[in-house]
Amino acid sequence: MTRRMSTPADPGRPVPLLNTANALTAVRIVVVPVFALFVVVSDMRQPGWRVAACVAFCVAAATDYIDGWIARRWNLVTSFGKIADPIADKALIGSGLVLLSVYGHIPVWVTAVILVREFGVTGLRFWIIRRAVIAASRGGKIKTSLQVLAIAWCLAPVPPPLDRVGWWAMMAAMVVTVGTGLDYLMRVLRLRREPAPSAWAGDDEAADPGTPVEPAPLSRGEAA
């Protein structure tokens, strides 16, 4: 039985690769093909299998919020988590969008716009990673929540006219996705013009000008 943690891990001690946060990320990666299989078996026509697919998707999406919180709360951030977490996220959201487009529940162009933004921001993140950190914005978190809501609603066998909620949620998700992507691009370009490395802080947080900032990727669980 795993011992329940009562205090955060010592930041000065090495973080073990096998920890709760990484285990949840691995679970999300494993659930993605299971979710995809449920969608294919359902053919988006059988209510029972659609419910199973929706539940699998929601469980996988929930682990994204939980593993990030655990990693930050208990100082369990690892290099594996920083790499595997966004890969798992993109795999889950990407597979959901592609499958919904294949079965005609959302237009292909919507899926294309969202995926181009997601992979574009990921590329920008690795491009700027050696120079500075760009902190996650509230818009990024709203974007992820809207994407999860829209996909889950479209997966579920919701009767009309309530099924249109999924469509409008998807449109809102696309607008916020594009908007946050453009905001991220502008911040990257602005940062590239600065003479010295620095970190972008949120509205309520500012870096101490006397403290050197070491470049590092976004912590796991943070949406850009």
Beta-carbon neighbour count of residue 153 at 10 Å?
19
Predicted local distance difference test score (pLDDT) of residue 6? 42
Predicted local distance difference test score (pLDDT) of residue 198? 46
Contacts of 222 by beta carbon, 8 Å cutoff, 6+ apart: 68, 135, 136, 140
| Amino acid at the residue 45 | R
- Alpha-carbon distance of 141 to 224, in angstroms, equals 7
Contacts of 165 by beta carbon, 8 Å cutoff, 6+ apart: 153, 158
Sign of CA dihedral 180, 163, 221, 65: positive
Q: What tokens appear for 180 in the block?
A: 């946050």
Q: What's the rounded mean pLDDT across residues 85-112? A: 94
Predicted local distance difference test score (pLDDT) of residue 213? 39
Predicted confidence (pLDDT) per residue in 73-95, tens digit: 888 887 777 788 888 999 999 99
Q: Average the pLDDT over each of 60-64, 85-89, 190-194, 195-199 and give the range with the smallest value.
A: 195-199
Residue 200 pairs in a beta bridge with: 134
- Alpha-carbon distance of 21 to 72, in angstroms, equals 9
Q: What's the rounded mean pLDDT across residues 10-23? A: 73
Q: What's the rounded mean pLDDT across residues 57-82? A: 86
- Alpha-carbon distance of 145 to 150, in angstroms, equals 9
Domains, the chain, in order of start with CATH, read: 20-192 (1.20.120.1760)
